C-alpha cells in the first residue's frame, strides 16, 4: 500500500450528474479519462496515484543502497531488475495520473517540495543484506494486499496499471522470500541478519496500511467511488494472517509477544504499531526522510542540464528540418 491517508476531496458538482456518475460506478463500469467525473474524484485520484508513483520512485533508494554490495552476480541482476521494475511502475502510474490533467513534471515538483507524499515505509533504512529480502517479502507483500483489490478500481487507466504492476510485485515478493529462506537457513550470522531485518521491518510494514479508518469520512467517499476497496484494518489483518505462518516456516520470530491465533475470529490477534512513530515519520522525522528527499532533489537538480540539452537538441533538429523544406 503505497498510498496512505489519502484525503478525499469535497465535491460541489451538479447532484444529477453526481447520481448518474455513482450509478455507473455501482454498475462496475470503468470511468475513462474523457468521461465526465466529479472534481473530487479527479483530485483524490491524482493525489492517490501520484503518491503511489512517488513511492515507487523513492522506493528505488533503499533497495538501490545494496545493488553495489549484492553478494552474487545473480542476486545483483535480480535486484537490478526489481529496481528497474519499480521505475517502470512509477512510469505507468505517472502516465495514469497524467490522464487526469496533471503533468509528470508538476507531480515531481510537488514531491520535491514536500507538497505530495510517498509511503512512510521508504523512510526506513536498509542496514543489512537480509533487509533486501525483508523489503520484498514484507513491504511488497503489504503493497500487494492493497493493490490486488485495486485491479478492480473504477478508474480505467489506474486499474490497467495495477493489473500489470501486481504481476511484477508478486514476483518480487517471492524473490524477497527466497532471500529470507537462504538467510534464515544459512550461517548463524545470516540468521541473525534475517531476524534483525524482520524485527525492524515488521511494525513499519503494518503501518503501511495506515491507521484504522473504519470511521473516516474520506475513506467512505473513496470506497463509494471504488478507488479504495477495503478498509485499512481489513487489509492489515489479512497481511498478518498471511505473513505469520511464512515467518514460522522460516524459523523467525515476529517481534510481537502478544501475537496469538484467535480461533473465534479466524485470524491472529496482534499488537498495533506505535502510531506516534508513524505520525513522526509522516511529519518528516523518520530515520531517512531527509536523505531520501535530498537524494531525489539532487538527482533532479544535477540532471537539469541533461534534460535541457535534450529539449534544445530536439528544437535544433526541428528548426533544421523546417529550414531544409
Partner 1 sequence: MPSLPDIMTPDAEALARAAGKGKGAPLEAGSPEHDLFTGLTRLGDNTLILGHRVSEWCGHAPVLEEDIALANMALDLIGQTQLWLGLAGEVEGHGRSADDLAFLRDAWHFHNVLLVERPNRDFGHTLMRQFLFDAWHQPMLRALEDSADDRIADIARKAGKEVAYHLERSADLVIRLGDGTEESHARMQDALDRLWPYVGEMFHADEVDVRLAHEGVMPDPAGLRPTWDATVDEILAESTLARPEGDFFHKGGRQGRHTEHLGHLLAAMQWLQRAYPGAKW
Give the closest residue to 48 by CA, choosing from 173, 153, 132: 153
User: How far is residue 67's CA from residue 78's CA, in Å, rounded to a whole number?
Assistant: 10
- Contact yes or no for 74/93 (Cβ under 8 A): no
Among 11, 33, 88, 99, binds partner 1 (CB under 8 A): 88
Shortest distance in whole angstroms from residue 102 CB to partner 1: 16
Among 260, 307, 318, 319, binds partner 1 (CB under 8 A): 307
Quick one: 61 or 139, whose CB is closer to partner 1? 61
Pick out residues in 101-120 that bind partner 1 (CB under 8 A): 104
Identity of the residue, 57 or 148, whose beta carbon is nearer to partner 1 in the bound complex: 57
323 binds partner 1 (CB under 8 A): no
Cell matching residue 112: 520535491
Q: State yes or no: residue 290 binds partner 1 (CB under 8 A).
A: no
Measured in whole angstroms, the distance separating CA 208 from the mean position of its chain's CA atoms is 9
Question: What are the residues whose beta carbons fall under 8 Å from the beta carbon of 226, sequence distance 6 or more?
Answer: 25, 152, 153, 154
Across 64-100, b (16+ Cβ under 10 Å) vs e yields eebeeebeeeebeebbeebbebbeebbebbbebbbbb
Does the protein bind partner 1 through residue 91 (CB under 8 A)?
yes
171 counts as binding partner 1 under rule CB under 8 A? no
Does residue 251 belong to the site contacting partner 1 (CB under 8 A)?
no
- How many residues at the interface with partner 1, by CB under 8 A? 49
- Dihedral (C-alpha) 179, 181, 187, 193: value to the nearest 10 degrees? 60
Question: In Å, how far are 133, 278, 300, 308, 315 from 305, measured between CA atoms?
Answer: 36, 37, 10, 5, 15
Distance from C-alpha of 318 to C-alpha of 94, rounded to nearest angstrom:
27
CB of 201 to partner 1, least distance (A): 19
243 binds partner 1 (CB under 8 A): no
Minimum CB distance to partner 1, residue 55 (Å): 13
**Per-residue mark of binding to partner 1, 172-211 (x: CB under 8 A):** -------x--x---xx-xx---------------------
Can residue 316 be called a binding residue for partner 1 (CB under 8 A)?
yes
Cβ atoms 270, 216 nearer than 8 A = no
Helices (H), 185-288: 188-207, 217-224, 232-250, 275-280
Minimum distance from CB of 36 to partner 1 (Å)?
31
Check residue 214 for interaction with partner 1 (CB under 8 A): no
Residues at the interface with partner 1 (CB under 8 A)? 57, 60-61, 64, 67-77, 80-81, 83-84, 87-88, 90-91, 94, 104, 129, 179, 182, 186-187, 189-190, 295, 298-300, 302-310, 312-314, 316
Amino acid at each position: 500500500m503505497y498510498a496512505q491517508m489519502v484525503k478525499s476531496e469535497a465535491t460541489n458538482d451538479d447532484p444529477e450528474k453526481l447520481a448518474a456518475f455513482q450509478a455507473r460506478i455501482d454498475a462496475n463500469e470503468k470511468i475513462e479519462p474523457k468521461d465526465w467525473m466529479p472534481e473530487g474524484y479527479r483530485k483524490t485520484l491524482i493525489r492517490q496515484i501520484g503518491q503511489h508513483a512517488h513511492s515507487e520512485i523513492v522506493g528505488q533508494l533503499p533497495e538501490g543502497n545494496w545493488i553495489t554490495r549484492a553478494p552474487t552476480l545473480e542476486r545483483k541482476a535480480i535486484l537490478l531488475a526489481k529496481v528497474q521494475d519499480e521505475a517502470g511502475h512509477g512510469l505507468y502510474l505517472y502516465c495514469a495520473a497524467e490522464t487526469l490533467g496533471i503533468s509528470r513534471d508538476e507531480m515531481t515538483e510537488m514531491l520535491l517540495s514536500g507538497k505530495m507524499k510517498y509511503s512512510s515505509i521508504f523512510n526506513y533504512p536498509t542496514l543489512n543484506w537480509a533487509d533486501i529480502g525483508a523489503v520484498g517479502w514484507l513491504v511488497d507483500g503489504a503493497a500487494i494486499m492493497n493493490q490486488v483489490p485495486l485491479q478492480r478500481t473504477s478508474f480505467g487507466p489506474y486499474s490497467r496499471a495495477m493489473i500489470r504492476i501486481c504481476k511484477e510485485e508478486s514476483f518480487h515478493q517471492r524473490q524477497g522470500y527466497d532471500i529470507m529462506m537462504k538467510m534464515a537457513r544459512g550461517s548463524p550470522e545470516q540468521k541473525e541478519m534475517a531476524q534483525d531485518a524482520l524485527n525492524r521491518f515488521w511494525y513499519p510494514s503494518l503501518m503501511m496500511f495506515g491507521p484504522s479508518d473504519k470511521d473516516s469520512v474520506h475513506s467512505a467517499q473513496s470506497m463509494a467511488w471504488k478507488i479504495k476497496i477495503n478498509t485499512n484494518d481489513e487489509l492489515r489483518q489479512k497481511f498478518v494472517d498471511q505473513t505469520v505462518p511464512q515467518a514460522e516456516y522460516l524459523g523467525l520470530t515476529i517481534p510481537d509477544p502478544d501475537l496469538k491465533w484467535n480461533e473465534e475470529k479466524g485470524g491472529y490477534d496482534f499488537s498495533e504499531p506505535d502510531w506516534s512513530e508513524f505520525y513522526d515519520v509522516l511529519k518528516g522525522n523518520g530515520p531517512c526522510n531527509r536523505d531520501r528527499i535530498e537524494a531525489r532533489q539532487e538527482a533532479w537538480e544535477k540532471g537539469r542540464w541533461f534534460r535541457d540539452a535534450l529539449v534544445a537538441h530536439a528544437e535544433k533538429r526541428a528548426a533544421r528540418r523546417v529550414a531544409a523544406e
